[in-house]
Amino acid sequence: MNRKSATVPSPGVINRYFDRLPVGAATPIVTLGEGGTPLLLSDRLSKEADAEVWLKYEGLNPTGSFKDRGMTVAVSKAVEGDTRLVVCASTGNTSASAAAYSARAGIPCAVVVPKGGVAAGKLSQAVMHGARVFEIDATFDKALRIVTELAEGRQVTLVNSTNPFRLEGQKTAAFEVVEDLGRTPDIHIMPVGNAGNITAYWRGYREAVELGWSVGRPRMYGVQADGAAPIVRGRVVDQPRTIASAIRIGDPASRSGALEAAGDSGGSIVSVPDDAIVEAYHSVAREGVFVEPAAAASVAGLRHLSRSGLVPRGSTVVCVLTGHGLKDPEVALVHGLQPERVEPQVDALLERLQLA
Ligand code: AN7
């Protein structure tokens, strides 16, 4: 691996933000060309909220989620530090990303996931990239406790967001937002699971101000699912439940980071019901943007805040769409329009399409 291991359109977040990340000349850069994701204006949501609503489409990262921004830094540092094994617990996306970046680096990876709790697309990535995948009959939270203990005092690198390099990489998404928008948004909305990403965005927005790249900070809103809302409720949820499997987390490791982001920025952490998540999931898909249910929580959150009068008219709003829709084909096939059967003839199709 060397610094020339990827080319445009995205040179990867380490090459792009080298000076802002905890890397040096001795750090081998393990990249898949992450970052540089589109910021899309949503006509539909802008009209609906009477605001300017932008979608940061993180599903277009190499493994289909924002995790890649952090994983490139975490795995690069792991290689620099001569690790024997990369491990993580995961609701799916972290395991997909860890597996891919470990494969890229040529180091072994093991992931521990809640049995039946990971969407098919994500599991398929982890197995294809050659990670050892261990399923346990327990929650993500339990899996995280196990791998944390496993990594302690061994030459094993934990790449959950408790790994400080992960959040450093993930803060680059906030840099891109202020750069692409040409200003700081007034309101920033994103899903919250283990709460690492909201912690990272808040850090990124603050650093952008310190660097003179932007002025002011957005109000930060985190969105949990009603059935998995430990931060909103102020207590651990033993059996978190939601259709959005990525954020089915009951005991967030970065809880304090989320509270700080929301508190210091004048925002908050809110929760939304699953049916609002599913509605938002359809809504963005109908604008051509396919996201997984957890990502749609951002948009459900926007609607919730808008109804509560918390989105002033004309505000600039960024909703982060954290993961790609192809990650979770089962949910799409249950909740989307069903394929229709038709005779294999043009006439039959013409009739069904009312073109006859
Ligand atoms: C699509 O993969 O925790 O609040 O183990 O996959 O930083 O945890 C995934 C989390 C939002 C929440 N959207 O981010 C994992 C995992 C998607 C996600 C989140 C996740 P954090």
Mean pLDDT value of segment 167-188: 97
**Which DSSP letter does residue 170 get?**
H
* Residue 291: exposure state from Cβ atoms within 10 A (0-12, 13-18, ≥19): buried
The minimum-distance atom of ligand 1 relative to the CA of 195 is 4
Q: Ligand 1 pocket check: which of 148, 223, 247 to mutate, most ligand atoms within 8 Å of Cβ? A: 247
Tell me how far the alpha carbon of residue 96 lies from the centroid of ligand 1, in angstroms: 12
> Across residues 186-204, what is the average pLDDT?
98
231, 269 Cβ separation under 8 angstroms: yes
Query: Helix (H, G, I), strand (E, B), or coil: what is residue 296?
Result: helix
Q: Is the pLDDT of residue 175 over 50?
A: yes
pLDDT for 336 beyond 90: no
Average pLDDT of the chain, as a whole number: 96
Nearest to 121 by CA among 294, 311, 349, 276: 294
| 342 neighbors 348 (Cβ within 8 angstroms) | yes
Tell me the CB-side half-sphere exposure of residue 75, using CA atoms within 13 A: 30
Whole-prediction pTM = 0.96
Sign of CA dihedral 286, 287, 289, 293: negative
How confident is the model over 200-219, as a mean pLDDT? 97
Q: Is residue 169 very low, low, confident or very high in pLDDT (cuts 50, 70, 90)?
A: very high
Give the confidence band of 1 by pLDDT, cuts at 50, 70, 90.
very low
pLDDT band at 8 (very low <50, low <70, confident <90, very high): low
Which pLDDT belongs to residue 155?
A: 95
Res. 260 pLDDT band, cuts 50 70 90: very high
Q: What pLDDT, on a 0 to 100 scale, did the predictor assign at position 338?
A: 87
Written as one string, the DSSP assignment of 199-224 is HHHHHHHHHHHHTTS--S-PEEEEEE
The CA distances from residue 155 to 1, 141, 145, 293, in Å, are: 21, 23, 18, 36
* Residue 356: per-residue pLDDT: 86
Query: Which residue has a Cα nearest atom 5 of ligand 1?
Result: 90
- Rounded Cα–Cα distance for residues 21 and 350 (Å): 57
Task: Work out the pLDDT band at 201, boundaries 50, 70, 90.
Answer: very high
User: Of ligand 1's atoms, which has the minimum distance to the CA of residue 97?
Assistant: 2
Burial class (CB in 10 A: 0-12, 13-18, 19+), 302: buried
SS3 state of residue 321: strand
Atom 18 (ligand 1): residue with closest C-alpha?
A: 246
Q: What letter represents residue 22's amino acid?
A: P
**Ligand 1 geometric centre to CA of 246 (Å):** 5
> Taking a C-beta distance cutoff of 8 angstroms, is the pair 42, 287 a contact?
yes
Q: Which residues line ligand 1 (CB under 6 A)?
A: 65, 90-94, 161, 191-197, 246-247, 292, 294-295, 322-323
